[in-house]
Structures are given as structure tokens and as C-alpha cells.
Amino acid sequence: MADYKLYGTSALGGYNADFEGATLKEVTGLGIVSVSAPLDGKPALTAAVKSAYGCALPKPALSVLSKDKSARLVSTQPDQFFILFDHAKPDAANHVAGLLGDAGYYTDQSDNWLTLALSGRLARSALERICPVDLGPEIFNVNASARTVMHHLGTLILRTGEDDYLLLSARSSALSFLHVVKTSVENVS
């Protein structure tokens, strides 16, 4: 029997571009796992996360970094959060399950999302063209997060640094989302 191999492709094939005042690139190799707290299971999950990641559960509209900064936990729903961490293999959910045990319900979301990193002094100017959430730097602080809609596309936005943002949007509409963000950056630069 012939040996068939499967290679992985990212949503945009590793898009990476520089603009005057901003950089926009696809983040690849990210593991994304959703963790849901069972009914009445919040205390147990809190303890498991504290033990495995050294941090508390993320609060709504906020994200929190694990103690060793290798993972970012983002609140997505009242009883659910995502864990984002560098993990190129397609077994991210198993990896998290190994750390948290049966304290939560897990799904692998790594292939569900396109992740873009937008950075630079014009990042906020570009974002205010497409994002209805208040991104005022004193309001949307570092580690803040929001799920909103940008040009009809559901998006999760995270502020990871002074002028650094991560944008997650559905993988199937990746090209459309890239067009939205790229056009915005071009319009303000």
C-alpha cells in the first residue's frame, strides 16, 4: 500500500505584509482549545487551571496569561474560555485535556479560526474603521478582549501589547476578513 502523507496548510498560507505605520501577518502554529465549565463545576475547573497554568479563570472581556506566559486564556462565553498557545500538532485539545483532566469539556478550535496579528502606530486607526467596540487605549487595556462583528464577520479581538492586537475570525471566510483588515490599514496609511 502506498504511503500517503497529509501536509497542513494555514488559512492564508502565511500572509505577512508591512504597511506604512503597521504590520499585518497571519499567526500560524497556534493551538486553540475551548474549555467549558460543567454545570456546578466552576470551582473544580478554577482549581485545575490554577494548578496547571498558575492563573485564575479569565473574567468577561479580559484575557489572562499563564504564569509562564506560554498560554493566554480568553473569556468567550459566561461558562467558556479559549486557551491559546503555541502548538503546531493537531492534538491541542488532547494536550489540554491532559493538563486539566475531567474538570472541563474541551474542543479543538485550532482549525476553526484565522488569526491575524496587527501591530504598529496606525493599528488603532485602522481598527476604528471596522470595530464597533471602544478601543480607546485607556479603555481597552493590554489583555482586554472582545467578541464583536467587523464587516459582517464575527471576530475576537485581543490587545496583547501597547500597539499590538490579535484578531481571530472564522477560517472559512479568511480571505474576506483579510481583505477587510488590509483595506482598512491601506485606507489610513
Partner 1 sequence: MIINHPLLGPRDAEEFVHLGDAALVDRPDWQAGDALEQFHDYLYLRDNPAGEYRELWYHEQGDRSWLVVTRNTLTHEISKVELARDFARKQGRSA
Partner 2 sequence: MIRNNRIDGGLIDRTKSLKFTFNGTEMGGHAGDTLASALLANGQRLVGRSFKYHRPRGIFSAGSEEPNAMVQLRHGAWQEPNTRATMAELFDGLHATSQNHRGSLEKDFLAINDRLSNFLTAGFYYKTFMWPKSFWEKVYEPIIRASAGLGRLSGEPDPDTYDKGFLHCDVLVIGSGPAGLMAALTAGRAGARVILADEDHLLGGRLNSDMQEVAEQAAADWAAATVAELVDMGNVRVMPRTTVHGVFDHGIYGLLERKTDHLASSGGKPRQVHWRVYAKRAILCAGATERPIAFANNDRPGIMLAGAVRSYANRYAVATGKHLAIFTNNDSGWQAASDLSAKGIAITAVIDTREITPPATIKGAALVMGGRIRDTAGRKSLTSITLTNGLTLPVDCLAVSGGWSPNVHLTCHLGNRPVWDDEIAGFIPGKSLPSGMSVAGAADGDMTLSAALKSGVAEGKAAIQDLGLPPAKTKAPDSNDEHFAVTPFWQVATPKRAWVDLQNDVTTKDIKQAQREGFQAVEHLKRYTTLGMATDQGKTSNVLGLAIMAEASDKTIPETGTTVFRPPFTPVTLGAFAGSARGKNFRPTRRPPSHNWATEKGAQFVETGLWLRAQWYPRSGETKWRESVDREVRKTRASVGICDVSTLGKIDVQGRDAATFLNKVYANGFAKLAVGRVRYGIMLREDGFCYDDGTTARLSENHFVMTTTTANAGLVYQRLEFARQCLWPDLDVHLISVTDGWAQYAVAGPNSRKLLQKIVDEDHDISDEAFPFMACGAVSVCGGKPARLFRISFSGERAYEIAVPTRFGDALVRVLMAAGEEFGITPYGTEALGVMRIEKGHAAGNELNGQTTALNLGMGGMVSKNKDSIGSTLSSRPGMQGEDTLQLVGLRPVKPADKLSAGAHFLDVGAAAKLENDLGWMTSVAYSPTMGHYIGLGFVKYGHIRQGEVIRAWDGVRGTDIEVEITSPHFYDPDGGLQRG
**Beta-bridge partner residues of 166:** 117, 158
Amino acid at position 90, single letter: P
25 binds partner 1 (CB under 8 A): no
Strand partners, 32: 84
d(Cα 88, Cα 105) in Å, to the nearest integer?
Answer: 21
Cβ of residue 128: shortest distance to partner 2, in angstroms?
Answer: 5
Q: 61 is in the binding site of which of partner 1, partner 2, none (Cβ under 5 to 8 A by kind)? A: partner 1
On whether the CB atoms of residues 48 and 90 are closer than 8 A, the answer is no
Task: Decide if residue 76 touches partner 1 (CB under 8 A).
Answer: yes
Distances 12 to 16, 28, 108, 145 between C-alpha atoms, Å: 9, 9, 19, 23
Report CA torsion sign: 36, 42, 48, 49. positive
The entry of partner 1, partner 2, none that residue 107 binds, CB within 5 to 8 Å by partner kind: partner 2
> Which residue's entry shows cell 492563573?
55
Q: In the bound complex, what is the minimum distance in angstroms from residue 65's beta carbon to partner 2? A: 23
Q: Which of 44, 151, 163, 164 binds partner 2 (CB under 8 A)?
A: 151
CA distance linking residue 126 with residue 71, whole number of Å: 27
Interface pick for partner 2 out of 46, 98, 108, 158 (rule CB under 8 A) = 108
Contact window for partner 2 (CB under 8 A) among 42-50, 58-66, 159-167, 172-180: 172-180
> Applying CB under 8 A, which residues contact partner 2?
1-10, 34, 36, 38-41, 79-80, 90-91, 105, 107-113, 128-134, 136, 139, 151-153, 170-177, 179-180, 183-184, 187
